[in-house]
Structures are given as structure tokens and as C-alpha cells.
Structure 1
């Protein structure tokens, strides 16, 4: 029996959900990137992966980013108005031994990608071309995802985990962090179904 669970998901401007489904307990490559349409039909678009993560969609809805956590790779796709994706290409790669694993991500209004590092204690900001622009260091190792919020969408909210960690050493593990930025994100579209 395949034991899969949905992980991260985001809606596109047409109200479709893009979500990764991963193997639980993360030992077999049985996970894929799915699209769930407003009529609740679904289709599989990329994989297989042990733990797909992300996804995130550019503000103009033209690029979809998807993470292969165990492969250490962030993929970019051209996203089309009809809900198809094409032209898969490597956007960024992490050295998991030095930087942790890529996890959840978001895109700001300048098309910069903000990526969480599971086991890497940080969020890295990438240019639209995949160049590293900077990072936000955190006092916990398991950084899981991020999104923009606040009245003007300029605050980066960062989620973390506490799985198998020493909470005496990392008392803030599992906390939600709030970091003011000099950029803004866009509001997330709702599911249309």
C-alpha cells in the first residue's frame, strides 16, 4: 500500500490548486506535483519524488516553482493560462550537507524567490534568474516555508518545525517568525471550487 500525503500547496490566479503529494515516511519516490481544478478533477504534472515541496507561482502567473527536497533542487516551469506547465528547468540547487534541504517557498512582487532551508536555519532570497541575493538567518534548524503578510504584505512570515530536536538547545523550534522586509508579496488567490 502506498502511503502518501499532501504537503505544500498554492492556488494560481485561475483558482486551481497546485500541490505536492509525498511519501510518508519519506523513503520511496511515490510523490508527484498535482493540479486540482475547481470541479475537483485532478491531474499529475511532475515527479516522481520522495518529498515534493513548494510550490509557488510568480505574481504574473507565468512561472511555477516546485521543489524536489531530497534532490536539493528548485525547478521552474513556464505556466500557461490553460493550466498546463512546460519547459522544466533547474532554478536553484542546494548542497544539503552544507545548507540543508530546500523546502517551502514564496515569490515576491519583484519575482524574487524566497526559499526555506530544512536543516539550514535560513531563508534564501534568489533573483528571478536564480542568483543568491541574501538570506534571513534563524535560531532554529528546521525552516519549513514562508509567505508575505501584514497590512501592506511586506512582512515575511516563516514557519519552522521541531521534529526530533532538542528543545532545550532550540527553544524556538516550531515557532512562527515574523520578519519585516523592503519588498512586498501579493495576496494568495483562493480556490475556485
Structure 2
């Protein structure tokens, strides 16, 4: 199958991450984690917006039921950000700020709860954990012993939850009980250990296949629901970070990328590092679930 890879947003993100397609505004939102920025691109008009923050890391992103408000993980706290007013509203502190961790990948379930992990800023200590955050900001710790949390995604029927520890080269799946908000029966979905591949951000399409960005390996892989490789797309960048399916028919795979960890020679060879790439794929994605914060009246 031929693959046309387009650069839709030429950028220089240090650590582009967490792309999400907003159906309501027909726009793509994503972060530059190390650059401390929330960004938005509207393909039809070409408009691009950027919001900069003074904190060290902006590591997590979720849509809310109000299209003008997003949920942001900034350092170790979650905030509601009103894009029109440029106003940050604290929601909760997920972990103690004394920990040398930060919030990383997360995703909302169909009930509007946010599932998010933390990671070690030194990238080798198992100091991170995985959490469920309810709409009122109540934090429920699920498990610890995590180095770098990633790949938070749900199956279309909300019966499976996916989670990776990037630095353990492993993606797991859990049985997910949507009514109870519990994840149980942890087992390996994909073991990347032989290749030392680093599973990063992911999304699930309408067929239940998992698209996963493989950081430092220059590719995205589509896995079947039973964890077999279905399709591999080689990219013109070393560090893809995350993927989402969007566009008018949700058939465009958007890929965020990073300049981080690349030396000067690599950056010269990879002019698209840090940009947002787009690939047309046959199977559509699903609308992104949104955080149900109490202020939105739902």
C-alpha cells in the first residue's frame, strides 16, 4: 500500500505530543511538552493558534464538553484552560510536587473520566504511576512502578484499556469496566523488548486496531486487536511521539514529532522533526471522548 506522508504544520516542537481532533471545531490540538505550549490548527482556514505557559512542562491534554475549554496536565497538576480568555483554572494536584515526575499521556473514557500517568523526569527510575481522575477532580491511584507512562487508549466498546511503559518496551491491556471505572486483569498486549522499541502515544480506530507511534524508531505501527502487526509506516523523522485520527471523515492519521534528543547532524537530515505529519488511512477513527468537568453543566 502506497503511503503519502504530508507535513501539515511545519513546526519546531521540542516534544510535540498528544494530538486530538476536535469534532466541534474541526481542528487539531496538540502540545509541545518541553516548549510549554498548547497549539491548535484549523486545516480548512489554515489558522494556527498557540498558547504558551510559564511552567516547566505541559504534558497532558484532553478535550472537554465545552469546545473552548481543554484539560491540561501542567507539571503534576491538572487545570482547565479557557482558550478564549487565556485563563487557567486549577482542578487537582495528581502527585506531590516534590516528586521529580511530571504528568504525561492520558485519555478520557466514555463517562468523561480522565486516565493519566506520570513519569520520571530522569527517564530511568520507576517513580511514576497511573491514575483515574473523576470529573470533580478526585484522584484515584491505580498502580505504580512506572518509568514513562504512555499509550493510554480504549477499545471502541470501552471493554479494553491500553497502557505502555515506554522504557520497559511493553504495552499492556486491561479488562475495563466502564460503569465501575476499573481496569483489571493486566496482561501483555505487545512486547517490544526484542527490538528495544519505545511505544509512545496511540489511538484506536473504528475496527479496534491500535495505531502506536514508536519513538526513536521512526515509524508508526497498526496492531490488530490481538496484538499482531498489521501495518508499518516508515516516517522521515526519528522521533514520532503520538497519533490521532481526525479530519472531516476521521480518516487522516495525524502524527506529532519531536526534535528532542536529536543532534545537529540529525536535525539537518530531518527538516520535518518537530512538525505535524498527516497520512490518509482507510479505516476511520472514533470521536474523542471529553472530560465531564462539573462547570460545563453536564
TM bucket, shorter chain:
over 0.9
Q: Which residue of 2 aligns with 1:10?
A: 107
- 1:85 alignment counterpart: 183
TM-score when normalising by structure 1: 0.96
In 1, Cα distance between equivalents of 2:117 and 2:274: 22
Distance 1:164 1:78 in 2: 35
Is this contact kept in 1: 2:199–2:214, CA < 8 A? yes
Instruction: Give, in whole Å, the separation in 2 of the partners of 1:47 and 1:72.
Output: 16
RMSD: 1.2
- For this pair of structures, how many residues does the alignment match? 192
2:160 maps to 1:63: yes
Q: CA deviation at 1:157?
A: 0.5
Once the two structures are superposed, residues 113-145 of structure 1 have per-residue CA deviations (whole angstroms, 9 ceiling, x without a partner) of 111101110011110000111111101111111
Q: Does residue 287 of structure 2 align to residue 187 of structure 1?
A: yes
What is the deviation of 1:93?
1.4
Query: Rg: which structure is higher?
Result: 2
CA distance in structure 2 between the partners assigned to 1:55 and 1:31 by the alignment: 14
Residue equivalent to 1:176: 276
1:23, distance to aligned residue in structure 2 (A): 1.1
- Matches for 1:26-45 after TM superposition, within 5 Å: 26-45=123-142
**Aligned in 2, Cα 1:89/1:75: closer, same or farther, shift over 3 Å?**
same
Shift of 1:27: 2.8
1:94, CA displacement in angstroms? 1.2
The answer for the alignment partner of 1:164 in structure 2 is 261
Q: How does 1:40-189 map to 2 (within 5 A)?
A: 40-80=137-177, 81-95=179-193, 98=195, 100-165=197-262, 166-189=266-289
Question: SS where residue 70 of structure 1 aligns?
Answer: helix
Measure the CA separation in 1 of the matches of 2:147 and 2:169. Answer: 12
- Secondary structure of the equivalent of 2:288? coil
C-alpha displacement of 1:71: 0.8
- 5+ residue gaps, structure 1: none
Q: Where in structure 2 are there 5+ consecutive unaligned residues?
A: 1-97, 294-298
CA distance in 1, matches of 2:100, 2:196: 28
Query: Does the 8 A contact of 1:75 with 1:89 survive in 2?
Result: yes
Q: After superposition, what is the alpha-carbon deviation per residue over 1:147-185, rounded to whole angstroms, capped at 9, x for unaligned?
A: 100001111101111103131021111111100001011
Kindly provide the CA deviation profile for residues 41-100 of structure 1, in whole angstroms up to 9, marking residues without a partner as x: 01111331110112001111111000011111000001102101101010001146x463
TM-score (norm 2): 0.63
1: CA distance, partners of 2:261 / 2:170 = 24
User: Could you list the runs of 4 or more consecutive aligned residues of structure 1 that deviate by over 3 angstroms after TM superposition?
Assistant: none
